[in-house]
Amino acid sequence: MAHAVVIGSGAGASVAAMVLAESHWDVTILEKGPNYFTNLTEALPTTLFSNDELKHDRHFAKADPDEEPRVYRSSSTDPEPYTGLVQSLPQTVGGGTVHWDAKTPRYWDIDFSKRSMLGPQPGASVIDWPATYQEMAPYYEEIETLIGVAGDVDALPAEPTLAHAPRTGPLPMPGGPPMYASLVAAGGCTALGFHPFQVPMAINSRNYDGRPACNDCGFCSGYGCPIVARVGALAPLRRALVAGAELRPMSTVTDIHVSGRRARAVTYLDEGGNPHRQSADLVVLGAGAIESARLALVADLPDPHRVAGHFVMFHWFTDASGIFLSERLHAHRGRALTHDMDDFADPDFPGAAAAAKVAGLPYLRGGTVELGGSEFPLDEAAVYQELLGLVAPDKPFGSAFKQLMRASLLRDRLCGITLVGEDLPYYSNVVDLDPSLRDWRGVPVPRITYGPGTHEITAQAFYMPKLRAILQAAGADVVTVISELPSDRFPISSGSVPDTEHVMGGMRMGVDPRASVTDGTGRHHHLDNLVVSDGSLFPTSGGHNPTLTIMAMALRNARLWP
């Protein structure tokens, strides 16, 4: 039996492992992180998660920045590179989908055919995907059924997704209970003539596939689900294991051995740092966008046109927060949020074309707007403790602290909304290897150089006031707007390091080997038996949360392999 080694067990890798194992490949899955589940072959795996808010900031899921830092620069001339956590996705069995909040919108037709439908953008390398939306629609439907997406298709706005290839039936479950804060923000959208809707989410709203309905505990985004109402990549992983795949957690691949046009084996380190060599007839690189590019560079995979690591994309997020003094919104309960608004994802949004023209751009695109959400209790407490520590360093807690927690401006009275803006693929946005820094295993750490272009700066400036207007129309007493893009190039910023957790590109698909790393199925242009299966394949970033598309593309590609 031919042997496939799958590197990673996240969104893209698990789908590839499932297809290969069910096609009678002997599959070994090498996953860097620990396994927080037992009996993964059961419909309802046993999880070691509780309401793990105390673990949130203790590197429970993400890398310890002292052991495995990354380096970030806003440009190649950035005088002060940052070293620490940069776009770190959880490193566990199941990858990023163990701690995600599972919003699962589909991409639009223009996302797959951007170059054909919208044309080029100056300075960016906008290319079409290898499949159109119509070709992707059946794969979307299969993944929605596999991971259990809840929502009402009829309530979605008449986006290109529905107009061009409607589902053949309803989503597997109705949507979960709407959150009040999401409804309040949606009310602000409606008052301004926009079109909010309940966003499909891969969280059970009723018993599905042997797993229970979400109990709205509130610790969703960033937390492992204690009742496994949210399953993500564990669903395809389960099928892979049932079909005979072997999962080896705490196994970090550090090298891929190549001769001629073939990958022959990988080296991985076990928990104790002991090296092992695993031979392979097929190597599937699914370590997530940054780590896949890093491995390709560490292993020195053939790259005659120096494309590997380039065109990395993160989405630009712009957050607006409204404080409602007269009522409690309790947005910290329930799912992360329940509603979205897609008007800003449409390049035909009124005024966008004119704003683009002024900036010398052919078009302008924002992205979806997530409606509702606030701080978790411990995060709120940390802010108050820090504030009080400034005025009374000896009394950061005490009655003032309790009063602030009871008033709860940042948790119970806050409604946050986030614009998930499309960032275009720029060659200068790149993952390479830091020339001097190595992680505790001795492997060079990834260095990420990422900054916005004219498109992103113009789009953010155009949409930012509209976010403020939504919250004002919703009745907020105080509104702030901040961006998660590097501060030196943007009007306002919440930090200097990108941390959007949407990580795409670096090993992108394409027909032209001079401008892409893999062909249209994720197969390496210069290696016949090395394929990529994760977010690194994205040629463009779209204006929506990427993971449903990562999984649907992985499914399509794996079905087209040998």
Q: Which residues contribute to the site for ligand FAD (CB under 6 A)? A: 7-13, 30-33, 89-92, 95-97, 99-103, 221-222, 252-253, 286-289, 291, 295, 501-502, 534-535, 545-547, 550
Q: Which of 4, 11, 192 is nearest to 98 (CA)?
A: 11
Which of residues 467 and 552 has its CB atom nearest to ligand FAD in the complex? 552
C-alpha distances out from residue 424 to 1, 111, 351, Å:
42, 11, 20
Count of Cβ atoms closer than 10 Å to residue 471 Cβ: 27
CB of 266 to ligand FAD, least distance (A): 9
Which of residues 340 and 384 has its CB atom nearest to ligand FAD in the complex? 340
CA 59 to CA 90: how far, in whole Å? 9
Which of residues 95 and 151 has its CB atom nearest to ligand FAD in the complex? 95
CA 326 to CA 6: how far, in whole Å? 53
* Chain position carrying tokens 């985004």: 221
Which residues make beta-bridge pairs with 197? Answer: 340
- Contact status, residue 125 vs residue 429, Cβ threshold 8 Å: no
CB of 285 to ligand FAD, least distance (A): 9
CB of 448 to ligand FAD, least distance (A): 15
Which of residues 297 and 473 has its CB atom nearest to ligand FAD in the complex? 297
Phi-psi region of 232 (alpha: psi -120 to 50; beta: other; left: phi over 0): left
CA 19 to CA 554: how far, in whole Å? 9
Which of residues 73 and 103 has its CB atom nearest to ligand FAD in the complex? 103
CB-facing half-sphere around the CA of 362: CA atoms within 13 A: 11
Tokens matching residue 202? 């891969």
CB of 545 to ligand FAD, least distance (A): 3
| DSSP assignment letter at 537 | G
Q: Are strands 262-269 and 367-371 parallel, antiparallel or unpaired?
A: unpaired
CB of 323 to ligand FAD, least distance (A): 24
Which of residues 267 and 487 has its CB atom nearest to ligand FAD in the complex? 267
CB of 336 to ligand FAD, least distance (A): 7
CB of 98 to ligand FAD, least distance (A): 8
Q: Which of 344, 345, 337 is nearest to 371 (CA)?
A: 337
CA 443 to CA 545: how far, in whole Å? 31
Q: HEC states along 252-281? A: EEEEEEEECCEEEEEEEECCCCCEEEEECC
Q: What is the DSSP string of 123-179?
A: TS-----SS-HHHHHHHHHHHHHHHT-B--GGGS---HHHHHS--SS--SB---PPP
CB of 320 to ligand FAD, least distance (A): 18
Which residue number has the CB closest to ligand FAD? 10
Which of residues 295 and 430 has its CB atom nearest to ligand FAD in the complex? 295
Tokens matching residue 411? 């948790």
Which of residues 239 and 413 has its CB atom nearest to ligand FAD in the complex? 239
Q: Please provide the distance, in angstroms rounded to a whole number, between the alpha carbons at the two ends of the chain.
A: 13
CB of 360 to ligand FAD, least distance (A): 32
Which of residues 125 and 292 has its CB atom nearest to ligand FAD in the complex? 292
CB of 452 to ligand FAD, least distance (A): 20
CA 6 to CA 278: how far, in whole Å? 11
Which of residues 96 and 498 has its CB atom nearest to ligand FAD in the complex? 96
CB of 204 to ligand FAD, least distance (A): 15
CA 201 to CA 113: how far, in whole Å? 25
Which of residues 253 and 527 has its CB atom nearest to ligand FAD in the complex? 253
Which residues make beta-bridge pairs with 480? Answer: 321
Which of residues 32 and 508 has its CB atom nearest to ligand FAD in the complex? 32
CB of 353 to ligand FAD, least distance (A): 28
- Contact status, residue 32 vs residue 252, Cβ threshold 8 Å: yes
